[in-house]
Structure 1
Amino acid sequence: MVLATDAHGNELVELEPGDGDFVGLTDAPLTGALVVVTGPEGVLLVHDVWRGAWEVPGGGIDDHESSEEAARREVVEESGQQLAGLRRVARATFRLRPDDRYEQTDLYKGEVEQVRPFVPNRETDAMCWWDGVSSLQDLSAVDAELVRRLLLIDGSDPV
Protein backbone atom coordinates (compact mmCIF):
# COMPACT_ATOMS: atom_id res chain seq x y z
CA MET A 1 0.00 0.00 0.00
CA VAL A 2 1.31 3.46 -0.90
CA LEU A 3 1.14 5.91 2.01
CA ALA A 4 2.40 8.96 0.05
CA THR A 5 4.01 9.87 -3.27
CA ASP A 6 6.29 12.84 -3.93
CA ALA A 7 6.53 15.01 -7.05
CA HIS A 8 9.19 12.69 -8.52
CA GLY A 9 7.12 9.51 -8.11
CA ASN A 10 9.00 8.20 -5.08
CA GLU A 11 6.65 6.31 -2.77
CA LEU A 12 6.49 5.79 0.97
CA VAL A 13 5.19 2.21 1.08
CA GLU A 14 5.59 1.21 4.72
CA LEU A 15 6.16 2.84 8.09
CA GLU A 16 6.94 0.48 10.94
CA PRO A 17 6.94 2.11 14.41
CA GLY A 18 9.52 1.04 16.96
CA ASP A 19 13.15 1.44 17.89
CA GLY A 20 14.59 -1.84 16.62
CA ASP A 21 13.97 -5.41 15.39
CA PHE A 22 12.04 -4.25 12.35
CA VAL A 23 10.34 -6.95 10.28
CA GLY A 24 9.55 -4.95 7.13
CA LEU A 25 7.90 -5.87 3.85
CA THR A 26 11.14 -6.30 1.96
CA ASP A 27 14.78 -7.10 2.49
CA ALA A 28 15.63 -3.68 1.09
CA PRO A 29 18.90 -2.20 2.31
CA LEU A 30 19.00 0.37 5.10
CA THR A 31 20.52 3.37 3.34
CA GLY A 32 19.44 6.50 5.21
CA ALA A 33 18.24 8.36 8.26
CA LEU A 34 15.60 11.10 8.48
CA VAL A 35 14.83 13.30 11.47
CA VAL A 36 11.60 15.02 12.46
CA VAL A 37 13.06 17.83 14.54
CA THR A 38 10.79 19.82 16.83
CA GLY A 39 11.66 23.08 18.47
CA PRO A 40 10.05 26.12 20.07
CA GLU A 41 8.65 27.23 16.70
CA GLY A 42 7.40 23.94 15.20
CA VAL A 43 8.89 21.23 12.97
CA LEU A 44 12.18 21.93 11.21
CA LEU A 45 12.11 21.77 7.41
CA VAL A 46 14.97 22.43 5.02
CA HIS A 47 14.63 23.43 1.38
CA ASP A 48 16.59 20.97 -0.78
CA VAL A 49 18.49 22.71 -3.58
CA TRP A 50 18.35 19.80 -6.06
CA ARG A 51 14.77 18.63 -5.50
CA GLY A 52 13.36 22.13 -5.00
CA ALA A 53 11.26 20.89 -2.09
CA TRP A 54 10.82 21.43 1.64
CA GLU A 55 11.88 18.26 3.48
CA VAL A 56 12.83 16.98 6.91
CA PRO A 57 16.60 16.83 7.40
CA GLY A 58 18.29 13.56 6.58
CA GLY A 59 20.32 11.61 4.10
CA GLY A 60 22.54 8.65 3.45
CA ILE A 61 24.44 6.59 5.99
CA ASP A 62 28.19 6.69 5.37
CA ASP A 63 30.18 3.42 5.54
CA HIS A 64 31.76 4.27 8.88
CA GLU A 65 28.63 5.39 10.77
CA SER A 66 25.41 4.14 12.33
CA SER A 67 22.02 5.47 11.28
CA GLU A 68 21.93 7.56 14.48
CA GLU A 69 25.30 9.11 13.67
CA ALA A 70 24.06 9.85 10.14
CA ALA A 71 20.89 11.45 11.54
CA ARG A 72 22.86 13.76 13.83
CA ARG A 73 25.35 14.66 11.08
CA GLU A 74 22.64 15.41 8.50
CA VAL A 75 20.72 17.75 10.84
CA VAL A 76 23.87 19.80 11.44
CA GLU A 77 24.95 19.77 7.78
CA GLU A 78 21.56 20.75 6.40
CA SER A 79 20.33 23.19 9.06
CA GLY A 80 23.11 24.08 11.49
CA GLN A 81 20.87 23.02 14.40
CA GLN A 82 22.21 21.10 17.40
CA LEU A 83 19.98 18.35 18.74
CA ALA A 84 19.22 18.30 22.46
CA GLY A 85 17.66 14.84 22.15
CA LEU A 86 17.31 12.12 19.52
CA ARG A 87 15.59 8.73 19.44
CA ARG A 88 14.68 6.26 16.73
CA VAL A 89 10.92 5.92 16.40
CA ALA A 90 10.30 4.03 13.13
CA ARG A 91 11.66 2.56 9.92
CA ALA A 92 10.29 3.48 6.51
CA THR A 93 10.40 1.59 3.24
CA PHE A 94 10.51 3.61 0.03
CA ARG A 95 10.04 2.65 -3.61
CA LEU A 96 12.32 5.00 -5.52
CA ARG A 97 11.94 6.17 -9.13
CA PRO A 98 12.95 6.06 -11.90
CA ASP A 99 14.80 2.76 -11.30
CA ASP A 100 12.04 1.17 -9.19
CA ARG A 101 14.26 0.12 -6.28
CA TYR A 102 13.35 -0.30 -2.62
CA GLU A 103 15.33 1.23 0.24
CA GLN A 104 14.76 1.56 3.97
CA THR A 105 15.41 4.57 6.19
CA ASP A 106 15.51 4.85 9.96
CA LEU A 107 13.29 7.66 11.25
CA TYR A 108 14.21 9.67 14.30
CA LYS A 109 12.48 12.24 16.47
CA GLY A 110 14.81 15.00 17.60
CA GLU A 111 14.48 18.19 19.62
CA VAL A 112 16.28 21.50 19.66
CA GLU A 113 16.02 23.83 22.63
CA GLN A 114 17.68 26.86 21.09
CA VAL A 115 17.28 27.80 17.42
CA ARG A 116 20.58 28.63 15.75
CA PRO A 117 20.93 30.93 12.73
CA PHE A 118 20.72 29.21 9.36
CA VAL A 119 23.56 29.54 6.85
CA PRO A 120 22.75 28.41 3.26
CA ASN A 121 24.97 25.64 1.91
CA ARG A 122 25.33 23.45 -1.18
CA GLU A 123 22.48 21.14 -0.09
CA THR A 124 19.95 23.48 1.47
CA ASP A 125 19.20 27.09 0.61
CA ALA A 126 16.59 27.79 3.29
CA MET A 127 15.21 26.55 6.60
CA CYS A 128 11.81 27.08 8.22
CA TRP A 129 9.74 25.99 11.19
CA TRP A 130 6.43 24.46 10.10
CA ASP A 131 3.35 24.12 12.30
CA GLY A 132 2.57 20.69 10.81
CA VAL A 133 -0.73 21.70 9.24
CA SER A 134 -0.41 24.93 7.26
CA SER A 135 -0.07 24.84 3.50
CA LEU A 136 3.53 25.24 2.38
CA GLN A 137 4.40 25.55 -1.30
CA ASP A 138 6.82 22.86 -2.53
CA LEU A 139 6.42 20.73 0.61
CA SER A 140 7.29 17.11 -0.19
CA ALA A 141 4.12 15.02 0.21
CA VAL A 142 6.20 12.14 1.53
CA ASP A 143 7.88 14.30 4.17
CA ALA A 144 4.56 15.87 5.20
CA GLU A 145 3.14 12.37 5.71
CA LEU A 146 6.21 11.29 7.69
CA VAL A 147 5.85 14.31 9.99
CA ARG A 148 2.14 13.63 10.48
CA ARG A 149 2.64 9.94 11.25
CA LEU A 150 5.70 10.36 13.47
CA LEU A 151 4.00 13.02 15.57
CA LEU A 152 1.02 10.66 15.97
CA ILE A 153 3.34 7.81 16.98
CA ASP A 154 5.08 10.11 19.42
CA GLY A 155 1.84 11.61 20.70
CA SER A 156 3.10 15.16 20.36
CA ASP A 157 2.05 18.36 18.64
CA PRO A 158 4.40 20.19 16.28
CA VAL A 159 4.23 23.43 18.31
Structure 2
Amino acid sequence: MDPFGDDSPVYVISVAAELSGMHPQTLRTYDRMGLVSPGRTSGRGRRYSMRDIVMLREIQRLSQDEGINLAGIRHILDLQRESEALRAEVARLRGLVEELGNELESTRAVAARLARLKNTPESTAGAELVPIRQTSVVVWRSRGEE
Protein backbone atom coordinates (compact mmCIF):
# COMPACT_ATOMS: atom_id res chain seq x y z
CA MET A 1 0.00 0.00 0.00
CA ASP A 2 1.22 3.50 -0.82
CA PRO A 3 1.97 5.15 2.56
CA PHE A 4 0.66 8.47 1.22
CA GLY A 5 -2.32 7.11 -0.73
CA ASP A 6 -6.01 7.82 -0.22
CA ASP A 7 -6.37 5.00 2.32
CA SER A 8 -3.52 6.04 4.62
CA PRO A 9 -5.00 6.86 8.06
CA VAL A 10 -3.07 10.04 8.88
CA TYR A 11 -5.53 12.72 10.04
CA VAL A 12 -6.42 13.09 13.72
CA ILE A 13 -10.09 13.71 14.44
CA SER A 14 -9.74 17.50 14.79
CA VAL A 15 -8.11 17.79 11.35
CA ALA A 16 -10.62 15.38 9.80
CA ALA A 17 -13.48 17.42 11.30
CA GLU A 18 -12.04 20.61 9.85
CA LEU A 19 -11.42 19.05 6.42
CA SER A 20 -14.94 17.61 6.28
CA GLY A 21 -16.66 20.68 7.71
CA MET A 22 -18.13 18.74 10.63
CA HIS A 23 -17.86 18.78 14.40
CA PRO A 24 -15.55 16.11 15.93
CA GLN A 25 -18.52 14.73 17.92
CA THR A 26 -20.36 14.14 14.63
CA LEU A 27 -17.39 12.13 13.38
CA ARG A 28 -17.46 10.04 16.56
CA THR A 29 -21.18 9.40 16.09
CA TYR A 30 -20.69 8.37 12.48
CA ASP A 31 -17.88 6.02 13.58
CA ARG A 32 -20.13 4.42 16.23
CA MET A 33 -22.88 4.00 13.62
CA GLY A 34 -20.44 2.40 11.17
CA LEU A 35 -20.91 5.07 8.49
CA VAL A 36 -17.17 5.78 8.47
CA SER A 37 -14.58 3.50 10.04
CA PRO A 38 -11.30 5.35 10.60
CA GLY A 39 -8.05 3.58 11.37
CA ARG A 40 -6.89 3.34 14.97
CA THR A 41 -3.60 4.00 16.67
CA SER A 42 -2.20 1.62 19.27
CA GLY A 43 -3.80 3.89 21.90
CA ARG A 44 -7.17 3.54 20.08
CA GLY A 45 -7.13 7.12 18.74
CA ARG A 46 -8.94 7.63 15.46
CA ARG A 47 -6.93 8.33 12.30
CA TYR A 48 -8.83 9.33 9.16
CA SER A 49 -7.70 8.82 5.59
CA MET A 50 -8.48 11.08 2.64
CA ARG A 51 -11.00 8.45 1.53
CA ASP A 52 -12.70 8.82 4.94
CA ILE A 53 -12.80 12.62 4.51
CA VAL A 54 -14.41 12.23 1.08
CA MET A 55 -16.94 9.82 2.60
CA LEU A 56 -17.73 12.27 5.40
CA ARG A 57 -18.36 15.01 2.83
CA GLU A 58 -20.66 12.67 0.88
CA ILE A 59 -22.59 11.84 4.07
CA GLN A 60 -22.97 15.54 4.76
CA ARG A 61 -24.16 16.20 1.19
CA LEU A 62 -26.71 13.38 1.31
CA SER A 63 -27.98 14.59 4.67
CA GLN A 64 -28.11 18.34 4.02
CA ASP A 65 -28.69 18.63 0.27
CA GLU A 66 -30.79 15.50 -0.34
CA GLY A 67 -32.58 15.38 3.02
CA ILE A 68 -31.74 11.72 3.61
CA ASN A 69 -31.71 10.52 7.20
CA LEU A 70 -28.75 8.58 8.64
CA ALA A 71 -30.48 5.20 8.29
CA GLY A 72 -31.03 5.92 4.60
CA ILE A 73 -27.45 7.08 4.22
CA ARG A 74 -26.19 3.87 5.84
CA HIS A 75 -28.31 1.85 3.41
CA ILE A 76 -26.97 3.84 0.44
CA LEU A 77 -23.37 3.37 1.60
CA ASP A 78 -23.93 -0.37 2.14
CA LEU A 79 -25.36 -0.67 -1.38
CA GLN A 80 -22.41 1.25 -2.81
CA ARG A 81 -19.94 -1.06 -1.05
CA GLU A 82 -21.85 -4.11 -2.25
CA SER A 83 -21.92 -2.72 -5.77
CA GLU A 84 -18.14 -2.17 -5.72
CA ALA A 85 -17.58 -5.72 -4.48
CA LEU A 86 -19.87 -7.11 -7.18
CA ARG A 87 -18.10 -5.10 -9.89
CA ALA A 88 -14.77 -6.52 -8.71
CA GLU A 89 -16.23 -10.05 -8.75
CA VAL A 90 -17.65 -9.54 -12.25
CA ALA A 91 -14.24 -8.32 -13.46
CA ARG A 92 -12.58 -11.37 -11.88
CA LEU A 93 -15.10 -13.72 -13.46
CA ARG A 94 -14.77 -12.06 -16.87
CA GLY A 95 -11.02 -12.64 -16.68
CA LEU A 96 -11.61 -16.26 -15.75
CA VAL A 97 -14.10 -16.75 -18.60
CA GLU A 98 -11.62 -15.21 -21.04
CA GLU A 99 -8.85 -17.47 -19.75
CA LEU A 100 -11.06 -20.56 -20.04
CA GLY A 101 -12.18 -19.48 -23.51
CA ASN A 102 -8.54 -19.23 -24.59
CA GLU A 103 -7.83 -22.69 -23.18
CA LEU A 104 -10.88 -24.08 -24.98
CA GLU A 105 -9.79 -22.57 -28.30
CA SER A 106 -6.32 -24.02 -27.81
CA THR A 107 -7.80 -27.45 -27.05
CA ARG A 108 -10.04 -27.24 -30.11
CA ALA A 109 -7.06 -26.34 -32.30
CA VAL A 110 -5.11 -29.35 -31.02
CA ALA A 111 -8.12 -31.62 -31.54
CA ALA A 112 -8.55 -30.33 -35.11
CA ARG A 113 -4.88 -31.00 -35.87
CA LEU A 114 -5.13 -34.52 -34.45
CA ALA A 115 -8.27 -35.18 -36.51
CA ARG A 116 -6.49 -34.01 -39.67
CA LEU A 117 -3.50 -36.24 -38.89
CA LYS A 118 -5.76 -39.22 -38.23
CA ASN A 119 -7.47 -38.78 -41.59
CA THR A 120 -4.32 -38.59 -43.73
CA PRO A 121 -3.72 -41.47 -46.24
CA GLU A 122 -0.56 -42.56 -44.40
CA SER A 123 -2.39 -43.05 -41.13
CA THR A 124 -5.39 -44.90 -42.58
CA ALA A 125 -3.51 -47.35 -44.85
CA GLY A 126 -3.37 -49.95 -42.08
CA ALA A 127 -6.09 -48.90 -39.70
CA GLU A 128 -5.41 -51.65 -37.16
CA LEU A 129 -2.04 -51.68 -35.43
CA VAL A 130 -0.54 -54.96 -34.24
CA PRO A 131 2.48 -55.43 -31.99
CA ILE A 132 5.75 -56.97 -33.19
CA ARG A 133 8.03 -58.29 -30.48
CA GLN A 134 11.78 -57.68 -30.83
CA THR A 135 13.81 -58.58 -27.76
CA SER A 136 12.43 -56.46 -24.94
CA VAL A 137 11.00 -53.63 -27.08
CA VAL A 138 7.49 -53.69 -28.50
CA VAL A 139 7.24 -52.02 -31.91
CA TRP A 140 3.89 -51.23 -33.49
CA ARG A 141 3.21 -51.24 -37.17
CA SER A 142 0.13 -51.22 -39.39
CA ARG A 143 -1.29 -54.59 -40.55
CA GLY A 144 -0.89 -53.43 -44.15
CA GLU A 145 2.89 -53.06 -43.70
CA GLU A 146 3.68 -56.79 -43.31
TM-score tier by shorter-chain length is: under 0.3
Task: Compare the two structures and name the one with the higher helix fraction.
Answer: 2
State the structure with bigger RCO (CA 8 A, min sep 6), 1 or 2.
1
TM-score, normalised to structure 1, is: 0.21
